[in-house]
Structure 1
Amino acid sequence: MQVDLVNKQIQTFSFFDQKEKSTKDLSKESASFLWFQLFNYVIARLPKNQQAKQQMIDICKGYYRGNKKETRAIEEFEESYRPEVAINWYSKESFVYKLINKALRTEDIDLLYKFRFFIGDLSKNLQQEHEKLLSSKEKILHVYRGVKLGKAEFEKLKQNQGKLISTNGYLSTSRSKSLALRFSTVQNKRMDLVPILFHIQCNIEHINKHIIFADISQFSEFPEEQEVLFDINACFLIESIQEKDSLQIIKMNLSNEGYKITKDYLKLTRQETKELSAAIVFGRLLHHLGDYDKSQKYFEQLLNDSENEDRAWIEFNLGRAANSKGEWDEARKYYDRAYNRMMKSEPPRIKDSAWILNDIGNVLYVQQKFDEALGYHQRALIIREKFHGSDHGDTATSLNNIGNTLGAQGKYAEALDYHHRALQIREKFHPSGHTYIAVSLNNIGICYEHQNKQSIALEYYRRSLSIYQKFLPVDHPQIQKTQKNIDRLTGKN
């Protein structure tokens, strides 16, 4: 056997804690999980044309310049590749397999975008083979994977029993338990490795059709491996971890939950901006995760390559990436481009422009140009009240930002009026609680503290903290910041 199943996937995992209430404020681990779930959803919807294929070939030639073996393989790919042979190319230990998995492992968005052409074909091929599996008489599929993991990685798995898990990429498994066992017990010079056998159960009848896995043994150079390959979006529930004869047996069930989490995130995001495509939502996710460089690179690629995407929204999101990196002039450049593009549309996109006016106001705020900032936020508020009414979430955002700007000018009484109006709207729309409510409560507390009304401020800080604790991970910066406000007023600092 030439291709080692152990090395077919560097074992890096992402976990999702189903107890987390808000997909907008995920822990770092859960956010990484969502990244891979959403990536596969988006990649299938990006345009795949000759330009996309050429970008992939060019990047591969550059990467393997001077490597005669891989250069020949790339030339063969360029001349003979057809979409229906994507699985054959992936199953080889070739440049395709190596670079895709390198990009997935490192979450290299630039490289992954270049491979969108092939990844889309591979997913489509896997889906076709998956449909054959669904039409077979098999109801329960048992597959195995033998690996040796470092102790730290194994401890991480133990701590996440009962949670969802996904591998950061494609997952290669075998129908053969004995074959998998060979890889979990193979000799290795490292003494700190833990032998592990993953036993994965797939209830074929109950799994959502969007969860793709396929028997690819007929496409492999080594059919005796009986390989079953899971697509990027597959996730599993860790049921149990048991030790038997120094071997750790980890039982997992294929789960529908990853797909549901992706749909929930898309639904939540589109409630804010209904017109957004999946491709733009993915770039926004990168931004939400704090990956501003990745978000910027992604939107730059999208701007250069996509004729169908909304260029104004792309430029707006490029402005947001620059804004978050503290590059105010660059942010303003993109915001102005996006705004001008919207205004030149037929008819002008007045409603959408409020997002840009709002963000320009935010840039001016951090530059301490409070008078200018106030003007932009007031313009955004007028538009939002006209199109959404006086009790909409976007209206509350503008009220909140005006309150912050007035507070920065020392006009605390006026600021409180705007913050209370924002709070009233947010409590109406989120009766069971939301982090937006906590933001308003905290801002009101700040104003009262500046007015030397410490007892009232403390009450609002505590209400804010209780909501943050309900919806955010314990180590979230906003919880720590609000707790510091409380400690300051109670003399605990």
Structure 2
Amino acid sequence: MASTDNLNQLEPTFMYTQLFKEILLDIEYGDTAIKDLAACCREVFSGNTIELQTINEFGRDYRPQQAIWWYTRECFTYKMLNQALRNMDADIIINMGFFLRDVHQQIQQLHEQQVSSYGGKPFLVYRGQGLMKTDFEKLQEAKSGLMSFNNFLSTSKDKEVSLEFAGRASSKPDMVGIFFIMSIDPCLKSTPFASIKEVSYFKEEDEILFSMHTVFRVNAMKQMDSKNQLYQVELELTSDDDQQLRSLTDRIREEAGGNTGWQRLGKLLLTTGKFDKAEELYNVLLEQTSDENEKAFYYNQLGYVKDDQGDYEKAIWYYEKALEICQKTLPSNHPSLATSYNNIGSVYSKMGEYSKALSFYEKALEIWQKTLPSNHPDLASSYNNKGNVYDNMGEYSKALSYYEKALEIKQKNLPSNHPSLATSYSNIGLVYDNMGEYSKALSSQKKALEIYQKALPSNHPLLATSYNNIGNVHGSMGEYSKALSYYEKALEIRQKTLPSNHPDLAISYNNIGLVYKNMGEYSKALSFYEKAFEIDQKALPSNPPLLATSYNNIGNVHGSMGEYSKALSYYEKALEIKQKTLPSNHPSLATSYNNIGSVYSKMGEYSKALSYYEKALEIWQKTLPSNHPSLAISYNNIGLVYKNMGEYSKALSFYEKALEIWQKTLLSNHPYLATSYNNIGLVYKNMGEYSKALSYYEKALEIRQETLPSNHPDLATSYNNIGFVFENMKDYSKALSYFERALDIKQRALPPTHPSIKNVKESIEILKQEMKKNSG
């Protein structure tokens, strides 16, 4: 069932199960198909003696002309097939492919024999069933819109029997009973249906069975009881469909093309994110073929699988096997060679080997530009990949230019809800996020998510990526609770669909760790970072940049907890990896220099801190736009060192440069602005200009109270700083009040050994002595 504001919209699973059906109807099944299904079912129902007896009977006696008899028998066939079609369980759908085909073909044959008996007149059938309350809400939203049944649909001509089914379902607390009244026009060109009385297991039932993918118009809905648990819903069989979904279906059908049904099935499995099943299928097909071109195709597809599973070294091995065959059998400018170069480049990019990636991408682009029309989708893929490398290399304007070229081609060639368009919007959003243009980034990422939600199954890995990207933007904007919500959605999908050591899981754990760190919940942050670190260690040596990220993140938490030597050790490990794998002016190196500078600053080693901060600034000035937030961080950090060295005018100059950038690029309540106001206040306080200091400190506190949890360490910093100003202004009672608020937060948020707790306690002690002196 499906509905949105567009009444003619159906859910993406309708399209994918329809494509699975088309392919499975086209496949030639061998003699072992029945035995293989029986073996699979024995595993599912092991320990269930009655079902096992029925399965043995099926394996021994099944014939295609008995398909409906077996389908209507209350046993494993009906349960497994419809559940698999509802949940789009590719594994079971494929195992039951021959049975699905036989049931469909028998319905079709009966329909052709019976259609004239209806005399062209509409008639009613009934169905009683229970719906989960969440599904019932979707049905209510679909009123006047379309509703689909992706599975085979059993209906009855007996109204009372169907009403009894609905009534029984309504007695369950989590269900709503639905009594469907369905108007059927036999003249419509729609899904085949047939009276199965003569071929059913239950001959006494007057059942009309519809094949898969019936589409109805939801006409009316009314409550039938006082408890809000039983509803009558009137449906009308229709030949209408979701026009947008139809054009996307046509496109994906074309993309899942192949010489055989099995090849098409493999491509569709990849499209739907069923990588393990695709791998299993391609390995079988590879073993069965002796044709070199087919081998190259299967190696290439296995490369896709390994790439998506995050096993980059195996992906390259498969892609190179495909390339080797293509180089022997094809001319040097054949598009298939370009595909191989492109795929190898894609893996090197993910491994952080950007110059290698670029070299392969350029080989691919050179062939495609010579052999393809200028708006061919493969050119879009090439531009997209080059954009990705430039993005990773920190060359954001080049990246944006290539991503926009790719988008332009896709917009000309693809339906407006094609997942590949979403990928382009997502990539453009990533660049805008890196450039600090957060509103543009959010807009692009939301366009991507909207398309993915329309076009993909609800647990597809690309949806997880989309949630993750939106979380990143909210995190960049300082909206931590929103970021956490999106990161958790991404993690939920990844935990369901990916192997436990997949790099994307590490990315999810890292991102959740970062949010907790920014919210001051350090033990939670460390727990998530360590989960990511565990995965990243296993990924070496195929993905060193991920390990560097993990070292860096764990360093961040130790730094925030005041464990500076531990932080320094992790930051230096991260830097060492980056220096080996990245170009010398990569922005990620600047991040490492900046982090090391930050630790030295906290340890009071100001000349070392300044040296690292200046290295970071030099890289950022070369690679980023002049108002990029990372430059502001750099100016801010250098300002902090000068402040600690007592060079207040220099400090003020750098702090004001930082503030100017943040005011231009961030929301007015962004935590970075609070940091900026706080730092400028600190300089004025050290210069003895207490009223100016107080004004800036209060601006910082206002933002922090608005945006941070009540026990965030940055709030404690604000209270502490305001306390110092009041102490210097001799207003001791106000000073004490602010110091005590600061201490309360720090004791709740930080480990008891954290140096800043000791510092606040000392400040309170000194203040109390001062108050005693004055009262004496």
TM-score, normalization by structure 1: 0.78
SS in 2 for 1:225: coil
Residue 341 (structure 2) aligns with: 357
Contact 1:361 1:376 in 2 (8 A): yes
Residue 149 (structure 1) aligns with: 131
Shift of 1:117: 2.0
Contact 1:469 1:479 in 2 (8 A): no
Shift of 1:407: 3.5
1:251 to 2:251 alignment = no
Residue 181 (structure 2) aligns with: 199
CA deviation digits over 1:384-439, x for unaligned, max 9? 11221344232132123113213423445654554454455456657989886776
Kindly tell me: are residues 262 and 189 of structure 1, through their superposed partners in 2, closer, same or farther at Cα, counting changes over 3 Å? closer
Shift of 1:198: 0.9
| 1: CA distance, partners of 2:145 / 2:262 | 28
After alignment, is 100-109 or 81-90 more displaced?
Answer: 100-109
SS in 2 for 1:249: strand
- Mark the structure with the bigger radius of gyration: 2
Contact 2:107 2:211 in 1 (8 A): yes
1:112 to 2:288 alignment = no
1:366 to 2:542 alignment = no
Residue 164 (structure 2) aligns with: 182
Give the partner amino acid of 2:371: F
Give the partner amino acid of 2:340: I
After alignment, is 303-312 or 58-67 more displaced?
Answer: 303-312
Residue 200 of structure 2: which of 220, 225, 229 is its match? 220
Give the partner amino acid of 1:216: I
Contact 2:129 2:169 in 1 (8 A): no
Mind listing any 5+ residue stretches in structure 2 that lack a counterpart? 455-462, 479-664, 671-776
Shift of 1:50: 0.6
1:379 to 2:360 alignment = no
Shift of 1:180: 0.8
Residue 13 (structure 2) aligns with: 32
| 2: CA distance, partners of 1:193 / 1:319 | 45
Give the partner amino acid of 1:238: V
| 1: CA distance, partners of 2:24 / 2:197 | 25
Residue 480 (structure 1) aligns with: 470
After alignment, is 423-432 or 32-41 more displaced?
Answer: 423-432
Residue 324 of structure 1: which of 303, 308, 314 is its match? 308
| 2: CA distance, partners of 1:307 / 1:212 | 40
Shift of 1:63: 4.4
| 1: CA distance, partners of 2:405 / 2:178 | 57
Contact 1:462 1:486 in 2 (8 A): no
Kindly tell me: are residues 94 and 352 of structure 1, through their superposed partners in 2, closer, same or farther at Cα, counting changes over 3 Å? same
Contact 1:15 1:33 in 2 (8 A): no
Give the partner amino acid of 1:256: S
Kindly tell me: are residues 150 and 119 of structure 1, through their superposed partners in 2, closer, same or farther at Cα, counting changes over 3 Å? closer
Residue 45 (structure 1) aligns with: 26
CA deviation digits over 1:183-227, x for unaligned, max 9? 22238863454332011222221223xx12221111123333211
CA deviation digits over 1:115-141, x for unaligned, max 9? 222222111111111212323224323
SS in 2 for 1:221: coil
TM-score, normalization by structure 2: 0.52
CA deviation digits over 1:299-331, x for unaligned, max 9? 456656799995544443333233222221232
Shift of 1:359: 2.3
Greater helix proportion? 2
Contact 2:300 2:318 in 1 (8 A): yes
Shift of 1:146: 1.1
Kindly tell me: are residues 336 and 51 of structure 1, through their superposed partners in 2, closer, same or farther at Cα, counting changes over 3 Å? farther
| 1: CA distance, partners of 2:408 / 2:450 | 20
Greater strand proportion? 1
SS in 1 for 2:154: strand
Give the partner amino acid of 2:213: N
- Aligned residue pair count: 468
Residue 135 of structure 1: which of 110, 113, 116 is its match? 116
Contact 2:197 2:206 in 1 (8 A): yes
What is the correspondence of 1:14-93 to structure 2 with a 5 Å cutoff?
14-15=1-2, 17=4, 19=6, 30-64=11-45, 69-93=50-74
SS in 2 for 1:89: helix
Shift of 1:101: 3.6
Kindly tell me: are residues 221 and 402 of structure 1, through their superposed partners in 2, closer, same or farther at Cα, counting changes over 3 Å? closer
CA deviation digits over 1:271-304, x for unaligned, max 9? 6576576654554444444444444445456656
After alignment, is 243-252 or 116-125 more displaced?
Answer: 243-252
Contact 2:23 2:265 in 1 (8 A): yes
Kindly tell me: are residues 175 and 279 of structure 1, through their superposed partners in 2, closer, same or farther at Cα, counting changes over 3 Å? farther
Shift of 1:370: 0.5
SS in 2 for 1:139: coil
SS in 2 for 1:156: helix
SS in 1 for 2:216: strand
Contact 1:461 1:485 in 2 (8 A): no
Residue 219 (structure 2) aligns with: 239
Kindly tell me: are residues 325 and 449 of structure 1, through their superposed partners in 2, closer, same or farther at Cα, counting changes over 3 Å? closer
Kindly tell me: are residues 378 and 166 of structure 1, through their superposed partners in 2, closer, same or farther at Cα, counting changes over 3 Å? same
Contact 1:91 1:97 in 2 (8 A): yes
Contact 2:432 2:441 in 1 (8 A): no
| 2: CA distance, partners of 1:345 / 1:233 | 43
Give the partner amino acid of 2:182: I
Contact 1:110 1:297 in 2 (8 A): no
| 2: CA distance, partners of 1:339 / 1:20 | 47
SS in 1 for 2:204: helix
Contact 1:468 1:479 in 2 (8 A): no
Contact 1:406 1:412 in 2 (8 A): yes
Shift of 1:234: 2.1
Task: State the superposition RMSD in angstroms.
Answer: 4.1
Contact 1:461 1:482 in 2 (8 A): no
Residue 333 (structure 1) aligns with: 317
Residue 10 (structure 1) aligns with: none
Contact 1:15 1:166 in 2 (8 A): yes
| 1: CA distance, partners of 2:34 / 2:110 | 23
Give the partner amino acid of 1:139: K
CA deviation digits over 1:14-37, x for unaligned, max 9? 42658399xxxx9xx822232222
Residue 5 (structure 1) aligns with: none
| 1: CA distance, partners of 2:233 / 2:108 | 27
SS in 1 for 2:381: helix
SS in 1 for 2:32: helix
Contact 1:148 1:184 in 2 (8 A): yes
Identity %: 29
| 1: CA distance, partners of 2:259 / 2:366 | 23
| 2: CA distance, partners of 1:403 / 1:371 | 13
Kindly tell me: are residues 144 and 339 of structure 1, through their superposed partners in 2, closer, same or farther at Cα, counting changes over 3 Å? farther
Residue 122 (structure 1) aligns with: 103
CA deviation digits over 1:336-372, x for unaligned, max 9? 3333444455678931333332222121111101011
Shift of 1:85: 1.4
| 2: CA distance, partners of 1:234 / 1:433 | 23
Residue 229 (structure 1) aligns with: 209
What is the correspondence of 1:264-303 to structure 2 with a 5 Å cutoff?
264-269=247-252, 275=258, 279-297=262-280, 299-300=282-283
| 2: CA distance, partners of 1:257 / 1:276 | 31
Q: Which of the pair has the greater relative contact order for Cα pairs under 8 Å at 6+ separation?
A: 1
SS in 2 for 1:144: strand
